[in-house]
């Protein structure tokens, strides 16, 4: 389009609509349209020396107003005469009945969508980002919104990839288009990092309907995300395996293994199949063993030498012995006895 005569304030060579009114600072020149009793107008308004604004005016029940506005700097306003960007859209009325922008794409594809795209040429390629609004199923009534980004060597539309999706049910997926929870994050590398420069609790997990609030862990061979989990029960710390509580730390610091109400600094409750508490050296050799037993069993404590052989036993029933070293009683100098035996209950 040629700008013959326009720069510098001269009149153009095309059709000229001229308003020579000098009584106002910023007069209008306009073209009016009438269809029956309905009116519309395209108007130019002086905005200063060699500057102009464009108004597109329509009649709404005999009430006139500028519906679209092009400012002298190129900004476009729809619903506003003060656009603050290249395109500013301002809606009036109820937010539920009047949207600012509606994007429509007429297609019959499964997961068809309409989108807003942003592309610009960078030094080493093309930047292609997109916000998509679509149907979750073929001709379905349930919608989704997704966000796509990409690093491309060509400016081909659709060469980006979806990164995040919000489903019709409100689930948010990052790295997945079918999130199964309110937030579903999937990744080949680290899925998430939580950092805070000042808060000592960067992440909080709340259960507003139960005193138990836990986080589940699931490996590739796990059958449920609830089998291994840790969290809080009221003010206590709890740990679960196989979906059963195994450890609890009370708010007073007492630790219970196999019990939910430890009344000592450490309390271990055994079972009929797990009756021992053992301590091993760094080479996995057994050093200390506490046999707690089950209901009706007597207890004992054993110590093992560097060959993992039991040499000391203290039993509440049955034999107890010290074997393999000198023993001193009432003196720091041990006697020459190489072993000491005593018997209980025969």
Q: Which of 19-23, 45-49, 141-145 is predicted least confidently? A: 19-23
Within a domain: 162 = yes
**Which residue, among 168, 167, 170, 169, has the nearest Cα to 178 in the 3D structure?**
167
Do both 63 and 20 map to the same domain? yes
Number of domains in the chain: 3
pLDDT tens string 63-104? 889 999 999 999 999 999 999 999 999 988 766 667 777 777
Within a domain: 303 = yes
Do both 67 and 115 map to the same domain? no
At 7, the pLDDT band (50, 70, 90 cuts) reads: low
Do both 147 and 85 map to the same domain? no
Within a domain: 150 = yes
- Beta-carbon contacts of residue 32 (< 8 Å; ≥ 6 apart): 39, 40, 41
User: pTM for this structure?
Assistant: 0.67
Whether residue 16 has pLDDT greater than 60: yes
Do both 125 and 76 map to the same domain? no
pLDDT computed for residue 183 by the predictor: 95
Do both 57 and 123 map to the same domain? no
Do both 84 and 133 map to the same domain? no
- CA gap 345, 335 in Å, rounded: 27
Do both 53 and 117 map to the same domain? no
Q: Check residues 115 and 164 and name the one with the higher pLDDT.
A: 164
The domain boundary residue, chosen from 39, 59, 89: 89
**Which residue, among 281, 296, 294, 288, has the nearest Cα to 313 in the 3D structure?**
288
Do both 176 and 123 map to the same domain? yes
Please report, for the chain, how many H helices and E strands are present, in that order. 0, 25
Within a domain: 241 = no
Provide the terminal-to-terminal Cα distance of the chain, rounded to the nearest Å: 117
Whether residue 53 has pLDDT greater than 90: yes
pLDDT computed for residue 158 by the predictor: 59
Do both 85 and 26 map to the same domain? yes
Q: What are phi and psi of 332, to 5 degrees?
A: -85, -15
Instruction: Tell me the residue range of the domain where 36 lies.
Output: 16-89
pLDDT computed for residue 346 by the predictor: 44
pLDDT computed for residue 1 by the predictor: 36
The domain boundary residue, chosen from 31, 57, 89: 89
What's the whole-number mean pLDDT along residues 54-67?
A: 90
pLDDT computed for residue 3 by the predictor: 46
The number of residues making up the chain comes to 346
Do both 65 and 120 map to the same domain? no
Within a domain: 247 = no
Do both 132 and 184 map to the same domain? yes
> For residues 341 and 321, is the Cβ–Cβ distance under 8 A?
yes
At 241, the pLDDT band (50, 70, 90 cuts) reads: very high
Q: Which of 15-24, 190-199, 310-319 is predicted least confidently? A: 15-24
What's the whole-number mean pLDDT along residues 29-40?
A: 90
Within a domain: 103 = no
Chain-wide mean pLDDT for the chain?
A: 83
Within a domain: 63 = yes
At 54, the pLDDT band (50, 70, 90 cuts) reads: very high
pLDDT tens string 248-288? 999 999 999 999 999 999 999 888 788 888 999 999 999 99
The domain boundary residue, chosen from 59, 89, 119: 89
Within a domain: 68 = yes
- Maximum average pLDDT range among 2-6, 136-140, 178-182: 178-182
> For residues 118 and 126, is the Cβ–Cβ distance under 8 A?
no
Do both 182 and 116 map to the same domain? yes
- CA gap 115, 160 in Å, rounded: 13
């Amino acid at each position: 389009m040629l700008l013959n005569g326009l720069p510098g304030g001269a009149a153009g060579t095309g059709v000229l609509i001229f308003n020579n009114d000098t009584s106002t600072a910023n007069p209008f020149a306009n073209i009016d349209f009438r269809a029956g009793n309905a009116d519309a107008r395209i108007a130019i308004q002086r905005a200063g020396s060699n500057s102009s604004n464009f108004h597109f005016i329509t009649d709404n029940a005999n009430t006139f107003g500028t519906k679209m506005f092009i400012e002298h700097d190129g900004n476009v306003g729809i619903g506003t005469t003060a656009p603050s960007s290249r395109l500013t859209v301002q809606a009036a009325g109820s937010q539920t009945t009047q949207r600012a922008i509606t994007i429509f794409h007429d297609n019959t594809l499964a997961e068809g969508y309409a989108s807003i795209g942003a592309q610009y040429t960078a030094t080493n390629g093309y930047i292609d980002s997109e916000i998509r609004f679509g149907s979750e199923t073929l001709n379905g009534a349930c919608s989704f919104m997704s966000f796509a980004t990409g690093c491309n060597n060509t400016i081909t539309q659709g060469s980006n990839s979806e990164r995040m999706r919000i489903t019709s049910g409100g689930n948010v997926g990052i790295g997945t288009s079918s999130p199964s929870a309110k937030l579903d994050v999937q990744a080949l590398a680290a899925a998430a990092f939580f950092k805070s420069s000042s808060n000592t609790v960067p992440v909080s997990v709340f259960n507003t309907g139960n005193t138990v609030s836990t986080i589940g862990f699931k490996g590739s061979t796990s059958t449920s995300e609830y089998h291994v989990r840790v969290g809080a029960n009221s003010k206590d710390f709890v740990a679960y395996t196989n979906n059963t509580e195994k450890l609890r730390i009370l708010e007073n610091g007492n630790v219970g293994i196999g019990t939910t109400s430890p009344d000592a600094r450490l309390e271990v409750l055994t079972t009929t199949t797990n009756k021992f508490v053992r301590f091993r050296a760094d080479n996995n050799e057994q050093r200390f063993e506490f046999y707690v037993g089950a209901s009706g069993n007597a207890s004992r404590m054993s110590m093992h030498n560097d060959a993992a052989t039991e040499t000391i036993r203290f039993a509440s029933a049955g034999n107890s012995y010290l074997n393999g070293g000198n023993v001193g009683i009432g003196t720091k100098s041990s006697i020459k006895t190489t072993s000491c035996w005593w018997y209980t209950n025969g």
